[in-house]
Amino acid sequence: MHIQNEQGKTPWRVCALCVFWLLVGVYWAAFGLNCLKYTGRYSPDSVIYINAAEVFLKTGRVSHSFYELHEAMKLDRVPPIPMTVWNPLYPVLIAAFSLAMTPAAAALAVSVLCQGLFLIAAFLLVRRLAGGGAALLGTAALLHFSPLILVAVRAWSETTALASLAACLLLLPGARPPGGRAAALAAGIMGGLAFLARLALVPVAPVGVLVIMRRGRPRESLLNAGLFSGAFLLLAGPVLVRRHLNAPPPVAPGGLLQVVSDTAGAVWSGLIPEGWFVRLFYALLCVVFLALFLRRLRSGDGGIIKALSRRSLILPLWALAYLAFLIYTCSRMYIDSVGARLALPATFALLLFLVILVHALARPPFWLCAAAALLLVGHAAVSEARTLRSVLPANIAPAHEIALRRDNWESMQWLHEHAGPGDLIIAEDGLDLPLFLGPVKVLYFLGNDERVVSQEAFWGYLDRHRGEYRRVFLVIKPAKQPGETGAGRDPSGMRRIAAGLEAAARLKDGEVFELRGEEPGR
């Protein structure tokens, strides 16, 4: 059945949309339950977000109660320390959800919820730019988009940022026919929220202004650009000022050529689908669309520029602006190696643009787009439902039940029983302690860190901040036995600091010392 008018709400079209969103809902529900039950993952970044949420609930400040020992001594501060490298929106959302569940569960729940909101915003964005058929295909492609799945199953801020970013692009007056002041204001708010979720999304501000200025009368465009910029700065401005005042000095970067190479590789690998079914289906779909395009060429109607809506160019414009900013930033200071995660705000836009481009060239009938989208979404929904069916009966502790894993480490259990909120814990490889112990004050150091902490500097630091903690515990891993790699070495110098101290506890996985506030023997 051929739908002559794609914008017409025929019963068949409405039915196809209802079935499509029903399958998306099944996929999203199964994906979320799988994430909370089994597939959810936490990383060092997750620890920071969850810890900041717990501190926010207790103090109302966006700070984290743990820090790297050398950096804390350099700043001459004791936790809690203002959070500046990571932006505040995601921790605040975790704090809100923590009123109904544990912070660890809330972190995964926010990630999954925002994934669903992102899918809705992406569908509406593509529908506005290229019509309903392209919107169905683009949304279906996102369900098989491996970088999106990578971030959605982790307690990260990416899906929160993507949902806000897609909403901002959707609302921009230059990207939507009606336009207007309300749209500019709303777009600025969503752009500000995107920045509050991910610092790297700051290019949304100049891109938004550029898109607004190229549409409509100059006076109207200038007013809309001012409203957009004002709303963005209202949210982003305080964070920028706070970061400028509190951020630590940047870490030295890698080479520019390496950053460019990593970025290009991340974009290319992100756009290649995973799984034989999806790759085969995409190949067959491309063959069908190519045949439709060749048919258009024979009829003398194959111009690429004519086929594309000018509004759809907002997607590659955003992707190029973001990638340029990412390369510039990573070449000036080290953030992380550029991979699928950092490239995602650009690759999702490029993926949607490729869908729009192919759709514009082939101009497939709506029924073909709907059928292809339903097959892709159905495959994703069935796959997640099968995973859920296999996981639910299994006797597996939920991924978010962090407290159940605390008993696996004797030192962790000892600290849980003896250390309190007013104490300071200095721990070797203790980055994950706040995830298991809550918002306790933690200074962590890496056991293989070659930056030696001198005894004079260490005890002087503790003496200066004695009024900010009740007790200090030093946790060191067991010494390497003769014959083991690293035996007899003390690269961080912390074992020399512990020498002469009586251990409060000698455990299988570490020794705990209580420091009395001044160097022994003084």
Q: What is the pLDDT of residues 131-178, one digit of tens each?
A: 899 999 999 999 999 999 999 999 999 999 999 999 999 998 765 555
pTM over 0.85: yes
For residue 2, is pLDDT > 50? no
Six-digit token string for 507: 């455990």
Average pLDDT over residues 467-476: 87
Q: Give the distance between the most distant pair of CA atoms in the chain.
A: 93
Average confidence (pLDDT) over 316-336? 87
Looking at the predicted structure, is the pLDDT value of residue 242 above 70? yes
The band of 248, judged by pLDDT with boundaries at 50, 70 and 90, is low
Position with higher pLDDT, 189 vs 252? 189
- Which stretch of 62-66, 108-112, 398-402, 459-463 has the lowest confidence by average pLDDT? 398-402
Q: In this prediction, what percent of the chain has a pLDDT beyond 90?
A: 34
Mean pLDDT across 438-453: 78
Residue 333's Cβ-side half-sphere holds a number of Cα atoms within 13 Å equal to 10
Averaging pLDDT over each range in 184-198, 218-232, 252-266, 379-393, which range is the top one? 184-198
CA distance 140 to 122: 11
pLDDT band for position 497 (cuts 50, 70, 90): confident
CB atoms < 10 A from the CB of 354, how many?
15
Quickly tell me which residue has 């997750």 as its tokens. 46
DSSP 154: B
114: confidence class by pLDDT, cuts 50, 70, 90: very high
Q: Are 118 and 166 in contact (CB under 8 A)?
A: yes
Measured in degrees and rounded to the nearest 5, phi and psi for residue 515 equal: -90, 130
Instruction: Tell me how far apart the alpha carbons of residues 54 and 60 are, in angstroms, rounded to a whole number.
Output: 9
Per-residue pLDDT, 92: 95
Quote the pLDDT of residue 502. Answer: 80
pLDDT band at 5 (very low <50, low <70, confident <90, very high): very low
β-pair partners for 476: 511
With cut-offs at 50, 70 and 90, classify the pLDDT of residue 492. low
Question: pLDDT band for position 1 (50/70/90)?
Answer: very low
Better-scored residue on pLDDT, 297 or 47: 47
The residues spanned by each domain of the chain are 11-39+87-244+284-391, 402-515
How far apart CA 121 and CA 225 sit, in angstroms, is: 22
Neighbours of 516 (CB within 10 A): 11
Q: Please give, one letter per residue, the 3-state secondary structure of 332-397.
A: HCCCCCCCHHHHHHHHHHHHHHHHHHHHHHHCCCHHHHHHHHHHHHHHHHHHHHHHHHHHCCCCCC
pLDDT higher for 387 or 4? 387
More confident residue, 338 or 189: 189
| pLDDT (mean) for 322-340 | 83
Average pLDDT over residues 91-109: 93
Three-state SS for 267-325 is: HHHHHCCCCHHHHHHHHHHHHHHHHHHHHHHHCCCCCHHHHCCHHHHHHHHHHHHHHHH
Residue 346 confidence (pLDDT): 96
What ranges in 144-217 are assigned the alpha helix state H?
146-152, 158-171, 181-197, 204-213
DSSP per-residue letters across 23-64: HHHHHHHHHHHHIIIII-B--HHHHHHHHHHHHHHHHSS-EE
Cα→Cα distances 484→313, 428, 487, 488, 489, Å: 59, 18, 6, 9, 11
| Nearest partner of 315 among 193, 183, 165, 173, judged by Cα | 165
Give the distance from CA 118 to its chain's centroid.
13
Report the b/e string of 210-239 with b at 16+ CB within 10 A: ebbbebbeeebbeebbebbbebbeebbeeb
Q: What is the pLDDT of residue 291?
A: 79
Summarize the confidence of residues 13-35 as an average pLDDT. Answer: 93
CB 419 within 8 A of CB 65: no
The per-residue pLDDT for 373 is: 94
Question: How confident is the model at residue 319, as a pLDDT?
Answer: 96
Residue length, the chain? Answer: 522
Least confident of 70-84, 94-108, 220-234, 257-271: 70-84
Per-chain mean pLDDT for the chain: 83
What Å distances lie between residue 310 and 9, 17, 209, 217, 305, CA to CA?
25, 26, 16, 17, 8
How many Cα atoms occupy the beta-carbon half-sphere of 13 within 13 Å? 14
Number of neighbouring beta carbons within 10 Å of residue 76: 10
Q: What is the dihedral of CA 198, 314, 122, 386, to 10 degrees?
A: -80
Confidence (pLDDT) at 177: 57
Q: Which residues pair with 515 in a beta bridge?
A: 472
| pLDDT given at position 487 | 54
Q: What is the pLDDT of residue 490?
A: 60
Determine which of 130-134, 316-320, 440-444 has the lowest per-residue pLDDT on average.
440-444
Q: What is the average per-residue pLDDT within 306-331?
A: 85
Which segments of 78-180 does DSSP mark as H helices, in order? 89-97, 103-130, 132-143, 146-152, 158-171
What integer is the mean pLDDT of 23-48? 90
Looking at residue 348, what is its pLDDT? 96
**Cα(234)–Cα(188) distance, rounded to whole angstroms?**
9
End-to-end CA distance of the chain: 90
Burial class of residue 130 in the structure, from the number of CB atoms within 10 Å of its CB (0-12 exposed, 13-18 middle, 19+ buried): buried
The two tokens of residue 8 are 């017409």
Q: Taking the C-alpha atoms of 170, 172, 174 and 176 in order, what is their torsion angle to the nearest 10 degrees?
A: 40
pLDDT of residue 483: 57
